[in-house]
Amino acid sequence: MIKLVGSAFYHEKEMREKLARFMLTTERFSFGDECKTFERAFAKWQGRKYSVLFNSGSSANLALIQALINLGRLKREDTVAFSAVTWSTNVMPLIQLGLNALPLDVTEDTLNVSSAEIQRALKRTPVKAVFLTNLLGFCDDIAVIKRVCAEAHVMLLEDNCESLGSVSSGIKLGNAGLASTFSFFIGHHLSTIEGGAVCTDDEELAVALQIVRAHGWDRQLDEKHQKALRAKHKIEPFYGLYTFYELGYNLRPTEITGLLGNAQIAYADEIVAKREKIFRHFAEVLYTKNDLYMPLRYEQMETASAMAFPLVCVSPEVRARVVERANDKVEVRPMVAGSMVFQPFFSKWQKHMIEPGMCPVAAKVHRRGFYLPIYPEMTDEDKKIIIETFSEV
């Protein structure tokens, strides 16, 4: 059986040995130098000024929305649009923090939201921000999306948990908007077991994220920002360590996250290149020489750093047949979480945002789509089995 996730880490043995040595010798397990080093290395690799590390991609999403609320850049009852095909904890923070979550439909041949869809939404609804998911290593017309959002003064946020390293129109995904989020969960491009990050070039936002990450206090800020905050609020020294400035959580990663991140990032380019190569190999066979699946468009991707390989069948019946045939050969799963409009939590909390028949393409993806494994250490034999299993049914 070819599993969705091949191993916990790229270069598994080396990572386990590093981890074992670290556990036996470190004097510090809680957030410290390993985490800070990884933050700097990740920001540099991504090409952003700041990277703030969290204990998961979900926490990164929650912290980003909370930080924007703390800064007054989002207000309760504001509408934030998001990609209808995404993961639950992309949209849940919007709901949890009192915003209206407007689902945007995806485009049939890219599985991602296009600038045309955003423009349609902006004409009908006063949208404050777009929280775009770059689904499974793909995007639509990201350069135009960037321009449309900038011209309309709409904040563009990217959930890049599935697309680390992808490039389109010269833009490394995650660098199109104000901020972007990443997941380092097992099976994602870089694995730190659990982990996540927010990247941004905005200093004020980076500071706000550090406050949100740890209890709402200032202890994780550098001296300059700590001093400024204490002076602004006239905090007496006795209370310096126990003053809580903003609404926060405890979403800190441990040094294990930092250690593994530092070890994995050395291989980031290699991981991206291998994922891309497998993606293009599968795509050439399964998107073109096949009547079972809708062809997906990927010429807009200079680098398609796929987390997994998406397929949308020509009908729900074909999906049932294909999935049945894959049964004990290749592990498959729905397209991320399908359409959020169909998830029970969404209709429970956002009924007022649902219109009959909305997001028809996402509905199609929900009923006909699935994804199959891509991981960098996949063997040629595994690739052969996958192609054979999904080419002919």
Catalytic residues: 188
Residue nearest to ligand PLP (CB): 57
- Strand (E) positions, 84-168? 100-104, 127-133, 155-159, 167-168
Site string for ligand PLP, 236-255 (x = CB under 6 A): --------------------
Tell me the C-alpha distance between 92 and 89, whole Å: 5
CB atoms within 10 A of CB 334: 16
Specify the DSSP class assigned to residue 291: S
Measuring CA to CA, which residue among 159, 109, 157, 163 is closest to residue 136?
163
183 lines the binding site for ligand PLP (CB under 6 A) = yes
89 lines the binding site for ligand PLP (CB under 6 A) = yes
339 lines the binding site for ligand PLP (CB under 6 A) = no
Cβ-proximal residues to 14 (8 Å cutoff; 6+ apart), any chain: 263
39, 78, 105, 159: which one binds ligand PLP (CB under 6 A): 159
Site string for ligand PLP, 45-64 (x = CB under 6 A): -----------xxx--x---
Cβ nearer to ligand PLP, comparing 136 with 296: 136
In a 3-state reduction of DSSP, which class is residue 100?
strand
How many residues line the site for ligand PLP (CB under 6 A)?
A: 16
In a 3-state reduction of DSSP, which class is residue 288?
helix
Q: Which span sits near ligand PLP by CB under 6 A: 26-34, 112-120, 157-165, 327-335?
A: 157-165
46, 133, 168, 254: which one binds ligand PLP (CB under 6 A): 133
90, 257, 262, 303: which one binds ligand PLP (CB under 6 A): 90
Cβ nearer to ligand PLP, comparing 248 with 253: 253
Measuring CA to CA, which residue among 164, 175, 132 is closest to residue 307?
164
Q: In what order do the strands lie in the sheet containing 167-168?
A: 171-172, 167-168, 301-303
Assigned token pair, 156: 């563009």
Site string for ligand PLP, 3-42 (x = CB under 6 A): ----------------------------------------
- Per the CB < 8 A criterion, the answer to whether 83 and 113 are in contact is yes
350 lines the binding site for ligand PLP (CB under 6 A) = no
Assigned token pair, 7: 């191993």
Tell me the C-alpha distance between 170 and 156, whole Å: 17
185, 249, 298, 349: which one binds ligand PLP (CB under 6 A): 185
Site string for ligand PLP, 291-330 (x = CB under 6 A): ----------------------------------------
Q: In angstroms, how far is CA 270 from the centroid of its own chain?
A: 20
Phi/psi zone of residue 170: left (φ > 0), alpha (ψ -120 to 50 degrees), beta? left
Assigned token pair, 69: 């609320």
Cβ nearer to ligand PLP, comparing 103 with 196: 196
Residues of this chain that bind ligand PLP (CB under 6 A): 56-58, 61, 86-87, 89-90, 133, 159, 161-162, 183, 185, 196, 336
